[in-house]
Structure 1
Amino acid sequence: MNKVLIALDYNPTAQKVAETGYRLARAMNASAILLHVISTATYYSSLNYSPIMGFDSFSNVVETDADNKLKERAQEYLDEFKHHLGDESIETVLKTGDFGETILQTATGLNVDIIVIGTHRRCGLDKILMGSVVEKVLHHSSIPLFIIPISASGENK
């Protein structure tokens, strides 16, 4: 294995996904690539990423034309992960689009060997309304996945 793509969302639980994915890459002597996808459908009114690896507030979702500011903050978010993991050789990739499709396209385009992604264990109405990025990636990927189950609190149950 040569490349591990680690898909990170805005959620503070992404820290566990990044750390686990990075350990996997190191164990396989592979390069790590951190990916963050900004949704084309929704922009966030809060452009502040918290120091705990996520948006400081997800409750205020509104349309905004602050694309450049959002991209700048998202890149800072990826750079924080890189710094947190202590490896400046980690590649960061920032994309805009549908989460699942963009993860798949990026993985294929970068010719990665495995995709590391976290699942928030959504179910019922929440899953229907929000969709499941992991499910989409799982059902459409020819690249192996390493799925990390994460509860809403960030702890495994």
Structure 2
Amino acid sequence: MKKVLIAIDYNPVSEKVVKEGYELAKTLGAEICLVHVLDDLGYYTTNYPTFLGYEGYPGIGPDYNVAIEMRTIAEDFIKKAADHLDDPQVKTEIIEGDTAKALLNFSEEWKADVLVMGTHSHSVLEKLLMGTVAEKVLEKTRIPVYVVPVKQ
């Protein structure tokens, strides 16, 4: 395995996902790419405490510039997450779309050998109605997925 793709989001549990994924990649001597998906704007209105050296973002309401603002915020987030690793070889990528589909498409495009991602605690109702990103990825993936349990 020569390429490890690590999926992160704005939830503080991403710190554990990055740590585990980075250790896996280093053990394998693999290239590393942190990836973040710009998806539903509702995800971007929750303020979290500082993690991975990222101090969060101000709550902003949707307006005609929201896509540009969200991209700028995402670029800042992923840059700080990569800087936190203090490894200039770590690549970063921001992709857009439905999270599961975007991750699957990018993992093929980048020719990843493994995708590292976390699981979030969701309510039973949420899981029943929508499933989870991890479940959707596992259902359609063509590469191994290293799922980091991050139960809060």
Tell me, yes or no, whether TM beats 0.5.
yes
Q: Residues 11 and 48 of structure 2 are in contact (CA less than 8 Å); yes or no, is this contact kept in structure 1?
A: no
Query: What percent of counterpart residues are identical?
Result: 33
- On the 8 A contact 1:117/1:146 being kept in 2, the answer is yes
- Which string of whole-angstrom CA distances, capped at 9 and with x for unpartnered residues, describes residues 105-138 of structure 1? 0000000000000011424112235530000000
- Please state how far the C-alpha of 1:63 moved relative to its aligned partner: 3.7
SS in 2 for 1:20: helix
SS for the counterpart of 2:79 is helix
Separation of aligned partners in 1, 2:90 and 2:24:
13
Q: Matches of 1:116 and 1:151 in 2, distance apart? A: 16
Whether the 8 Å contact between 1:10 and 1:55 is mirrored in structure 2 is no
Task: Name the structure with the higher helix share.
Answer: 2
TM-score, normalisation: structure 2: 0.86
1:45 & 1:115 partners in 2: Cα distance? 26
RMSD: 2.5
Separation of aligned partners in 2, 1:120 and 1:2: 27
Cα shift at 1:49: 7.4
Cα distance between partner residues in 1 of 2:125 and 2:57: 22
Q: Which runs of 5+ in 2 are unaligned?
A: none
**Contact conserved, 1:49 with 1:73, CA < 8 A, in 2?**
no
Summarize the alignment of residues 95-114 of structure 1 with structure 2, pairs less than 5 Å apart: 95-114=95-114
- C-alpha distance in structure 2 between counterparts of 1:3 and 1:79, whole Å: 19
Q: Within 5 Å, which residues of 2 pair with 1:69-84?
A: 69-84=69-84
Question: In the superposition, relative to structure 1, how do residues 148 and 128 fare at CA in structure 2: closer, same or farther (>3 Å)?
Answer: same
Determine the structure 2 residue equivalent to 1:52. 51
Whether contact under 8 Å (2:101, 2:137) holds in the other structure is: yes
Q: TM-score, normalised to structure 1's length? A: 0.84
Give the unaligned 5+ runs of structure 1.
153-157
